[in-house]
Structure 1
Amino acid sequence: MLKKTLLITLFILIAIQFIRPDKTNPPIDKAIALNSSKDVMNILKNSCFDCHSYETKWPYYSEIAPVSFFVASHVKKGRKALNFSEWKNIDKDIKKARLKRAIMTVNNGMMALPSYVSVHDNAELSKDEKSTLIKWFEKELEILDQ
């Protein structure tokens, strides 16, 4: 019975390798993409862009099911929540809500996500980086309120 279960499990793991989730990086229109100061952009590119832009770097494990399904889904949800590649096209009220949420998630240590940081050591935000981002988010909110 155990041998049969292992063979079925192995067959399923091999079969799902042929199911490919959507892993795309649409072209970036620089006219609508975020363009901020170098320090903010460096932090965002290092810790946020893999999930929140069209500049995703798809790691090797994103090719292996079932992990590939999780990674593709995570990126899809991240882009839907906040996409820096579509920055200037985001509705003002939605952008304000996303910025407020970003402040909260950075403050409480939920961004970058612990699951992401666990495989991307350099993505963990330092105290200074958190401060820089929060100040930038707050400044963007002030601009939107004008």
Structure 2
Amino acid sequence: MKIFRIIATVLLIAFVLIQFLPKQINKSQTTSKADFMSVNNVPVNIKSKLQTSCYDCHSNNTNYPWYSKVQPVAMFLQNHIIDGKKELNFSEWDSLSVRRKKSKLKAIVNQIKDGEMPMSSYTIIHRDAIFSKAEKDEIVQWMTKTKDSL
């Protein structure tokens, strides 16, 4: 019983101490002129769904939930955001070449079709980020049309 108390105390102290680790915030005060939504004529319903389902990890402006202030959750979220922005950052869309934009749009279409995006780890908590069949079809059709028009 004594060993259990020691382990619990060490874990509690470690949990308290990691709360003091700095948290990076991915929050921009302005919308970039290079943003995907600014550059493209995105229909309102698609714009809304992309902002809800994609922009938290794939833009410079994340809407953080309350639990993002607690470590180690904050580190986990920050790693997802960093990885997401490395793959695609909607806030810097217009800085991409036409070839790269087409490639990204094709990848978006394939990942939505295959159910890879939004990630299941995100949709577990963000139920409103899940695409219905109709939403998937509409977004895929619009993204394909946009890609073909570049």
Q: Distance in 1 between matches of 2:6 and 2:106?
A: 52
Flag structure 1 segments of 5+ consecutive residues without an equivalent.
Answer: none
1:17 aligns with 2:19: yes
2:110 is equivalent to residue 108 of structure 1: no
Letter in 2 for 1:12: A
Residue in structure 2 matching 1:59, options 65, 74, 82: 65
Percent identity over paired residues: 31
Q: Secondary structure at the match of 2:11?
A: helix
Residue 52 of structure 1 aligns to a residue in which SS?
A: coil
Does the 8 Å CA contact 2:32/2:92 hold for their aligned counterparts?
no
Contact 2:27 2:61 in 1 (8 A): yes
Q: Distance in 1 between matches of 2:95 and 2:36?
A: 10
| Structure 1 equivalent of residue 9 of structure 2 | 7
Partner Cα separation in structure 2 for residue 128 and residue 40 of structure 1: 11
TM-score by length of 2: 0.88
Structure 1 position 99 matched with structure 2 position 98:
no
Larger mean CA deviation between 46-55 and 26-35 belongs to 26-35
1:1-146 equivalences under 5 Å are 1-35=3-37, 36-144=42-150
Report if aligned partners of 1:47, 1:112 keep a CA contact under 8 Å in 2.
yes
Alignment partners' CA distance in 1, 2:32 and 2:63:
18
The answer to whether the 8 A contact 1:34-1:86 is kept is yes
Structure 1 Cα separation of the partners of residues 95 and 30 of structure 2: 13
Taking structure 1 as the reference length, the TM-score comes to 0.90
The code of the aligned residue for 1:11 comes to I
Aligned residues: 144
Cα deviation for residue 46 of structure 1 reads 1.5
Query: Which amino acid in 2 is paired with 1:8?
Result: V
